[in-house]
Amino acid sequence: MDRPSTYKPSMDKPGTDKPSTDKPSIDKPSMDKPSMDKRSHPIRIVIADDHPIFRDGLRRLLESEGDMKVVGEACDGLEAVKMATQIKPDILLLDLAMPHHTGLDALRDLNTRAGGAGPVRIILLTAAAEKKQVVEALQLGARGVVLKDSATQLLLKSIHVVMAGEYWVGRESVSNLVQYLRNLMQSTNEETKQKKFGLTPRELEIVSAVVAGYANREIAEYFKISEDTVKHHLSNIFDKLGVSTRLELALFAVNQGLPLKTIV
């Protein structure tokens, strides 16, 4: 006797496909999208400058960038210190030459407070700065010095460089601040030594003789020239240096570090 054939019904519901064993794909973020410097929020910036038109233009420029936001504006150094302390921005753009309380004054104030400027990174903005001012600013804690006539992209780049933990001076990034300061101070000292205020080699010799206490007749004999020539040299020297007496000349020469010659 034949056994009835057995029927095993399919476990799949009619009209349905078996679930795929492939893992669902996950869309990765495009690499072309701005990353905001790997930050979850924009760079918060305070602008300190005594010119309202400059502040307004700079604010518009910064806020046209997707990763920057101006959170405050100050018109002098005192207000800049107050905002830096209270708002604690990521970046303080500080004008060097503000009236009443300059950028360097504000830097000194922030530097003397407990913890210095804290998390605030300070970039000085200046139309022109002497090397001594740059050295002092960096020693007081500034992270950058940018010239106001720099290209827009240089200012934006300086902000990102400073946010990345490096320094920016003029038109370039500075990774080794200690070495940079050493080189800058050395070049400043060399320039000071070479400062001659437009004096000729012969006039520097005359100044050296005056500092050594020589009278006009003695100077004439020492250099084998006439006294009238000595007087003529002294007249030119007084005009160039803005002095009117031999004592003023001697003091000026010593205080300004003129490269004097040894007169024996």
Residues 99 and 224 in one domain: no
Residues 50 and 170 in one domain: yes
CATH of the domain at 243: 1.10.10.10
How far apart CA 91 and CA 35 sit, in angstroms, is: 19
Sequential DSSP letters for 184-231: HHHHHHHHHHH--TT--HHHHHHHHHHHTT--HHHHHHHHT--HHHHH
Residue 163 lies in a domain: yes
Residues 237 and 172 in one domain: no
Beta bridge partners of 93: 47, 123
| Listed residues 137, 161, 189: the one ending a domain | 189
CB atoms within 10 A of CB 10: 6
CATH of the domain at 102: 3.40.50.2300
- Kindly report, residue by residue over 160-192, the tens digit of the pLDDT: 999 998 888 876 666 555 566 666 666 655 555
Q: What domain range includes position 163?
A: 39-189
- Kindly report, residue by residue over 40-88, the tens digit of the pLDDT: 789 999 999 999 999 999 999 999 998 999 999 999 999 999 999 999 9
Residue 58 lies in a domain: yes
Residue 45 lies in a domain: yes
Residues 154 and 236 in one domain: no
Residues 132 and 229 in one domain: no
- CA-CA-CA-CA torsion sign (56, 61, 62, 65): positive
CA distances from 141 to 117, 244, 251 (A): 8, 42, 35
Name the domain count of the chain: 2
- What integer pLDDT is reported at residue 180 of this predicted model? 60
